[in-house]
Copies of this chain bind each other. A is one copy, B any other.
Amino acid sequence: MFKQLGLIGCGLMGGSFALALKRAGLVKRVVGYSKSPSTTERAKKLGVIDMAAESALLAVAGADIVLIAVPVAATETTFKAIRQLVEPGVLFMDVGSTKRDVVDAARRVLRERIGSFVPAHPIAGKEAAGIQHADALLYSGRQVILTPLPQTAADLLQKATDVWSGIGAQVLTMSPENHDAAFAAVSHLPHLLAFAYFSAVTNQPAGKDFLSLAGPGFRDFTRIAASDPTIWRDILLTNREEVLKQASRFRHTMDALELIMRTGNGEALEQMIRVASEGRAQWQMGSPRSPSR
């Protein structure tokens, strides 16, 4: 149970965390700050936060838990703004989809205070961004990855685990490096492919007519193409090394499939599709193995 949540960034992710903590009775008071005062005001009107702070630092003052829920690219600036109040015993977390860059920023800015920071990535989201879509159940039944460092305070890591578990999420820990490699593969590359595919289809003379014929397969395949442009710009740039590695693996498989199609080798084509089809049919979301650290 926490006394006061300091929420920096009142968007979908931060707002949902605040609502979830309230719903679970895990926090008494939420003090929120957003770069745009109108967003902070809106969060207050919606009951997501109890008090509006005029700066990130003021949102941290008096808090025993702080969530930094800003675009990944704004994390370092946020660390700088709150550094003086990063103290032992107060749990600081983020929600960024990439972790190596966040950890690097934390090392640079927080230095000897880095033990209070537990990097977190909840595997949840919606295409619709913004505080108006905040949802107390967004993290329920989802996985949350924590990427603690050797310096991370053990008691805060435990508190982080408890608070995410307390709102219904399943907590896994791994290294920032393994995190970024894994999510390049299962999240960042699919987004890149969906953006590229949707653009390629629409940017042709008959594109609009084609779109009117698209069915449920297209709908699901392109759902993530509607994701937020600034968030995904940051993710694709900060994790580009791993994403480009995965893109290269994907291209090799496409090369093989296209070659098989050109040569008309039905047997080989069926075999390649069958492996994918059976693998996907067996896959279930959120049935974790113990990921290698």
Q: Could you tell me which A residues sit within 8 Å of B by CB distance?
A: 123-125, 127, 142-143, 145, 172, 178, 181-183, 185-187, 189-204, 206-230, 232-234, 236-237, 240, 243-244, 246-247, 249-254, 257-258, 261-262, 264, 266, 269-277, 279-281, 283, 285-289, 291-292
Give the residues in chain B near A287, CB-CB below 8 Å. 212
Contact (Cβ within 8 A) B289 A199: no
Give the residues in chain B near A273, CB-CB below 8 Å. 195, 227, 229, 232-233, 236
Contact (Cβ within 8 A) A292 B209: yes
Give the residues in chain B near A237, CB-CB below 8 Å. 261, 264, 266, 269
Given A220-B220, A276-B195, the answer on whether A230 and B187 have CB atoms closer than 8 Å is no
Contact (Cβ within 8 A) B213 A269: no
What would 17 A/B residue contacts be, using CB atoms closer than 8 Å? Answer: A142-B215, A143-B215, A182-B206, A182-B213, A186-B214, A186-B218, A195-B277, A200-B252, A201-B249, A209-B289, A223-B280, A225-B276, A227-B277, A233-B266, A237-B261, A240-B262, A240-B264
Q: Which of B198, B244, B277, B289 interacts with A279 by CB under 8 Å? A: B198
A68 to B237 Cα, complex, angstroms: 50
Q: Which 8 A-B pairs have the closest CB atoms?
A: A186-B214, A123-B215, A229-B274, A226-B280, A233-B270, A229-B273, A200-B253, A225-B280
Given A201-B185, A201-B186, the answer on whether A215 and B281 have CB atoms closer than 8 Å is no
Give the residues in chain B near A233, CB-CB below 8 Å. 266, 269-270, 273
Contact (Cβ within 8 A) B289 A212: yes
Q: Which of B124, B143, B214, B225 interacts with A213 by CB under 8 Å? A: B143
A214 to B123 Cα, complex, angstroms: 8
A287 to B247 Cα, complex, angstroms: 33
Give the residues in chain B near A222, CB-CB below 8 Å. 190, 280, 283
Given A200-B250, A215-B187, A219-B285, the answer on whether A240 and B224 have CB atoms closer than 8 Å is no
Give the residues in chain B near A201, CB-CB below 8 Å. 185-186, 189, 246, 249
Give the residues in chain B near A247, CB-CB below 8 Å. 254, 258
A287 to B214 Cα, complex, angstroms: 9
Q: Which of B192, B213, B223, B234 interacts with A145 by CB under 8 Å? A: B213
Given A195-B257, A210-B182, the answer on whether A223 and B226 have CB atoms closer than 8 Å is no
Give the residues in chain B near A283, CB-CB below 8 Å. 211, 214, 222
The residue in chain B whose Cβ has the minimal distance to the Cβ of A194 is B221
Contact (Cβ within 8 A) A226 B190: no
The residue in chain B whose Cβ has the minimal distance to the Cβ of A122 is B215
Q: How far is the CB of A217 from chain B (nearest CB, A)?
A: 5
